[in-house]
């Protein structure tokens, strides 16, 4: 079975320096720390937020998505960790491909895992690596801080040993005639063709829709569904009118440039974005981390930014709520608590 590899690279910045890898000596296997976040959701995050971390490839049940060229460095293992040097004689960021497994939420683990295994086999064949010697988990390189991808595997009954054997099996050719040839993926195009207009579909349309919603041009009927329909066209025209652009409802270079500028400006204004959903004790995930970061910034320390809505996070929410007579101090994060937290964050800028 061969899978399509989609190459949709993020812009040069903190997450993608453009520095070249001299040689690929090994592969570091990761899983995402925000279960339920898809390959494209991660790509959009790294492209827009530009944190000082990254990985080459994100894999879910629909995409094998390379966001950084494989001949460039990605920042996926801390430089001050010694194990990569002990095992391979070099730092992972300088000589390894970082591969992330997306899991949880609505992601079909079986489909994502098959792509994850196949892609590791593809990399091993491409760079002449031995899966049993040249694939290492992030946990092995940074055991004090990371347990990936073992934490994801464990949820679905996969061991590290069985994963490596699956990669070995995936490298076994269907016929001996091609046993020395690497798998040849179907590589999908990466060039975004402008303009985008009524009737267009795809992930880039969805990104445009998400950006419009983020900056105050809602799509209440269909949301960010990846289809450029009448609702999206009207939102684009409203955006163009507000920013004195040519109003035609089409995303051309000028409109895209302005949209990117406005989105980036809004992101800079929101160093502590707040989740737009109800959260309570027992919840887990990136939304909880987002809440925890905001609480800590406001002085209501939840003790740990671990993505777990436990007793300490609940207590921090209660302490915040107790400041306002309009809020019930029940320890549950909902729309009213969000409104007051946003107000406090705005004042704290």
Which pLDDT score, from 0 to 100, does residue 131 have? 95
Inside any domain, residue 281:
no
What is the number of structural domains in the chain?
A: 3
Same domain, 113 and 163: yes
**Residue-range definition of the domain harbouring residue 232:** 203-269
Which residues are 186's β-sheet partners? Answer: 4
Q: Are 2 and 38 in contact (CB under 8 A)?
A: no
Same domain, 16 and 159: yes
Band of pLDDT at residue 226, cut at 50, 70 and 90 = confident
Please choose, from the candidates 100, 78, 92, 124, the residue with its C-alpha nearest in 3D space to the C-alpha of residue 29.
100
Same domain, 39 and 132: yes
Overall average pLDDT of the 233-252 stretch: 95
Same domain, 101 and 209: no
Inside any domain, residue 180:
yes
Same domain, 13 and 150: yes
Looking at 72-86, 196-210, 241-255, 327-341, which range is the least confident one? 196-210
pLDDT at 268 over 80: no
Same domain, 134 and 69: yes
> What confidence tens digit (pLDDT) does each residue in 269-281 have?
655 678 878 999 9
Same domain, 257 and 323: no
- Among 235, 269, 303, which residue terminates a domain? 269
Inside any domain, residue 83:
yes
Same domain, 297 and 252: no
CATH number at residue 154: 3.40.80.10
Same domain, 166 and 315: no
Inside any domain, residue 132:
yes
Please choose, from the candidates 49, 47, 73, 50, the residue with its C-alpha nearest in 3D space to the C-alpha of residue 273.
49
Cis peptide, bond prior to residue 149, ω within 30 of zero: yes
Q: For a pLDDT cut of 70, what percent of the chain falls above it? A: 90
Instruction: Give me the count of residues in the chain.
Output: 349
Which pLDDT score, from 0 to 100, does residue 182 have? 42
How high is the mean pLDDT of the chain? Answer: 87
Same domain, 167 and 293: no
Which pLDDT score, from 0 to 100, does residue 1 have? 63
Inside any domain, residue 278:
no
Please state the pTM of the whole predicted model.
0.56
Same domain, 16 and 85: yes
Inside any domain, residue 109:
yes
Q: Which residues neighbour 159 within 8 Å (Cβ) at sequence distance 6 or greater?
A: 153
Which residue in this structure is represented by tokens 């107000």? 343
Give the tokens for residue 255: 């409109």
Inside any domain, residue 194:
no
Which pLDDT score, from 0 to 100, does residue 262 have? 83
CATH number at residue 244: 1.10.101.10
Cα distance between residue 224 and residue 222, in whole Å: 7
Which pLDDT score, from 0 to 100, does residue 175 have? 36
- Among 188, 219, 249, which residue terminates a domain? 188
Overall average pLDDT of the 70-85 stretch: 95
Cα distance between residue 183 and residue 307, in whole Å: 38
CATH number at residue 329: 1.10.101
Inside any domain, residue 303:
yes
Q: Are 56 and 99 in contact (CB under 8 A)?
A: yes
- Among 188, 223, 249, which residue terminates a domain? 188
Count other C-beta atoms under 10 Å from residue 139's C-beta: 19
Same domain, 213 and 312: no
Backbone φ, ψ for residue 222 (5° rounding): -115, -20
């Amino acid at each position: 079975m061969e899978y399509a590899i989609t190459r949709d690279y993020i812009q040069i910045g903190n997450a993608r320096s453009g520095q070249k890898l001299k040689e690929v000596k090994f592969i570091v296997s990761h899983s995402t720390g925000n279960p339920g976040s898809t390959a494209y959701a991660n790509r959009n995050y790294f492209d827009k937020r530009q944190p000082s971390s990254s990985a080459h490839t994100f894999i879910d049940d629909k995409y094998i998505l390379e966001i950084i060229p494989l001949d460039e460095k990605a920042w996926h293992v801390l430089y001050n960790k010694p194990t990569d040097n002990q095992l391979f004689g070099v730092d992972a960021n300088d000589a390894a491909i970082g591969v992330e497994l997306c899991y949880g939420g609505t992601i079909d683990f079986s489909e994502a895992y098959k792509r994850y295994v196949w892609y590791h086999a593809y990399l091993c064949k491409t760079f002449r690596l031995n899966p049993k010697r040249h694939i290492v988990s992030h946990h092995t390189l940074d055991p004090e801080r990371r347990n990936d991808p073992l934490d994801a595997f464990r949820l679905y009954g996969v061991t590290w040993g069985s994963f490596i054997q699956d990669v070995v099996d995936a490298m076994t050719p269907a016929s001996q005639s091609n046993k020395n040839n690497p798998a040849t993926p179907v590589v999908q195009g990466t060039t975004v063709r402008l303009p985008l207009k009524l009737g267009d579909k795809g992930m880039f349309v969805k990104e445009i829709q998400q950006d419009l919603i983020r900056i105050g041009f809602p799509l209440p009927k269909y949301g960010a569904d990846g289809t450029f329909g009448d609702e999206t066209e009207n939102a684009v025209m409203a955006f163009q009118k507000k920013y004195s652009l040519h109003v035609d409802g089409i995303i051309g270079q000028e409109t895209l440039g302005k949209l990117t500028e406005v989105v980036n400006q809004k992101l800079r204004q929101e160093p502590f974005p707040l989740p737009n959903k109800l959260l309570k004790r027992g919840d887990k995930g990136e939304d909880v981390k987002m809440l925890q970061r905001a609480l800590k910034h406001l002085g209501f320390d939840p003790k740990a930014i671990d993505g777990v809505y436990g007793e300490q996070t609940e207590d921090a929410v209660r302490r915040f709520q107790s400041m306002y007579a309009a809020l019930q101090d029940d320890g549950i994060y909902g729309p009213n608590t969000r409104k007051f937290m946003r107000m406090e964050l705005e004042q704290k800028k």
